[in-house]
Structure 1
Amino acid sequence: MTLLALGVALFAVCHLTLALPEAKAALRRRLGKFFGPGFGVVSLLPLVLIVLGWRSAPLEIVYDAPSWGRMATFILVLVAFLCLGIFLFRGKLRQALRFPLAWGVVFWSVGHLCANGDVASLILFGGMLLYALAHLGLGFANGVRPSPEIRQGHDVISIIIGVALYGVFAQLHPLFTGVPVVTLTL
């Protein structure tokens, strides 16, 4: 569980930098054109730690998930992926949500906490929920806003991409987590 907690903590530290304009600007100045790719590479380490930590964590139940938990997860994770799609494109929805990726993490986390009551889930989804709320709080407090550039048609594209990513990740979920999203029995 230490690996999982470490991964979540590193993820939060890496990404909270983006909600602090002065820290982000300093990194951008220091790294120059390597800021984007460098941040992407550095962001992969916490994700690897999270996946490895999750897969190696023992199942220790803290609470029984409610009967409606799985359905809530399907809906909230779909909303999370719609937020991801909105984050990826420069439409009016991105301006309206202001922090679509952080909102997506909130929906993803809450959804998974509705369906999972074990210690590893509390560390992962609870930790990511705390990170996303901190990101939103810091972002709003510091007046962070997305680029004002709005591109025609990007709202529609963002929704289509969000739904497509939801479908793709539902198929890849067992690969990363060892847990199938849906199990079909005959």
Structure 2
Amino acid sequence: MLLLAFGVLFTAVLHLVAAVPSLKARFKQRVGEKAYGPVFGIASLIGIGLIVLGWRASDFVFVYDPPAWGRHANYLLTLVAFIFLGIFLFRGSWRQTVRFPMAFAAIFWATGHLLANGDLASIILFGGFLVYAVLHIIIGTANGVRPSPVVREGHNLLSVLGGIALYGIMTQLHMALIGVPVFQLS
């Protein structure tokens, strides 16, 4: 569980840098303007790798019994999360309105999964991302962070359609990627 917790903390701290413009600028200056994107991307992949390895190595430790309706709420909240992910990715005008679509996606995703899972690894992973996302919105708002002013016309509808499509893909790949089936038909 320590590896999982470290992976979540590493990823959260790395992404909170983006919520503080002065820290982000110093980081960009230190690694170089052109290298910033690739370095940030590689560091993010390392964080995700640590999370996946930590998750797979974690034993099941019961903490609480999730509500009976939690699994169904998770389906809906995760769908909403993927729509917010679509808003982030497709960069329509809704991205300007929402300001932090990826953080809201993490909030919906984490909340849904906390309603469906009651084990310690889930609390570390989803609870950690929930705390991170709320902090990102608070710190980003306090620092006046805004999304890129570039708006792609007509991409609001694509945001929703793309989010729904990604949700559908993830429901199919969840077992292969995460090791847990989304739907149990038996």
Task: Say yes or no: TM over 0.5.
Answer: yes
Aligned residue number for residue 118 of structure 2? 117
TM-score (norm 2): 0.96
Range with greater deviation from structure 2 (124-133 or 30-39): 30-39
The residue identity in structure 2 corresponding to 1:18 is A
Spell out structure 1 runs of 4+ moving beyond 6 A. Answer: none
Larger deviation: 29-38 or 121-130? 29-38
Alignment length, in residue pairs?
185
Query: After superposition, where does 1:5-84 map in structure 2 within 5 Å?
Result: 5-30=5-30, 31-84=32-85
Deviation at residue 40 of structure 1 after TM alignment: 0.7
Measured against aligned partners, the alpha-carbon deviations of 1:26-65 in whole angstroms (never above 9, x if no partner) come to: 2223321121122111100111111111111111111101
Superposition RMSD on alpha carbons, in Å?
Answer: 1.0
* Equivalent-residue separation in structure 2 for 1:166 and 1:27 (angstroms): 33
Deviation at 1:71? 0.6
**After alignment, is 68-77 or 168-177 more displaced?**
168-177
How far off is 1:72 after superposition?
0.5
TM-score, normalised on structure 1?
0.96
Secondary structure of the structure 2 residue equivalent to 1:64? coil
Which AA in structure 2 matches 1:94?
A: R
Report the counterpart of residue 128 of structure 2 in structure 1: 127
Q: Among the aligned pairs, what percent are the same residue? A: 55
1:77 Cα deviation from its structure 2 partner:
0.4
- Equivalent position of 1:90 in the other structure: 91
